[in-house]
Structure 1
Amino acid sequence: MADYEIDDRVDITDVVCPMTFVKAKVAMEELEIGQVLAVTMNDGEPVQNVPRSFKEEGQQILKLIDNENGTYDLIVKKLED
């Protein structure tokens, strides 16, 4: 069982880099500190770039889930505005 509750979700599977992180970041900005965002993204560049970008901005990566269909769910906790 997960030790977090997802407060919001964003699907960036229809977006190409560099807009993938931009769309995810906008969704994160809507959350309060301590809330959790789930980002659904395609395999490849987004799986490498989006988690790294969130870390660089001071957010906490809780989990990266392989949905086994070519997509991943990145679970991120907002620690900073």
Structure 2
Amino acid sequence: MSEIKADHFLDMRKVSCPLNYVRTKLKIEEIAVGETLELLLGDGEPVVNVPRSVKEDGHKILSLKQVKDYYSVIIRKC
């Protein structure tokens, strides 16, 4: 399986809920439909809540994987 290369990047590892979702939503609004965003999140609530909220907004989670002590989430804007 090939690695997904994101068009945009946002590091939210040190940002707490709900601010990490708000900043993610603002970043998604800046990108074009069909483009991808790689989002880095810390463990716990962020990795559960942010992807769920992004999906509820109608976008697609292409990948969610643990990388050392954080998570990488690839989102496609729909």
Distance 2:5 2:38 in 1: 10
Give the Cα–Cα distance (whole angstroms) in 2 for the partners of residues 5 and 42 of structure 1.
20
Taking structure 2 as the reference length, what is the TM-score of the superposition?
0.93
Aligned to 1:16: 16
Whether 1:75 aligns to 2:74 is: yes
Alignment: residue pair count: 77
In the TM superposition, what is the alpha-carbon distance from 1:5 to its structure 2 partner? 3.2
Give me the CA root mean square deviation. Answer: 0.9
List structure 1 runs of 4+ shifted beyond 3 angstroms: none
Deviation at 1:62, TM superposition (A): 0.3
Aligned to 1:31: 31
Aligned AA for 1:72? Y
Partners of 1:5 and 1:67 lie apart in 2 by 15
SS of match in other structure, 1:72: strand
Structure 2 segments unaligned to the other structure (5+ residues): none
Partner of 1:43: 43
Letter in 2 for 1:62: L
State percent identity of aligned pairs.
39
Quote how far apart the aligned CAs of 1:26 are.
1.0
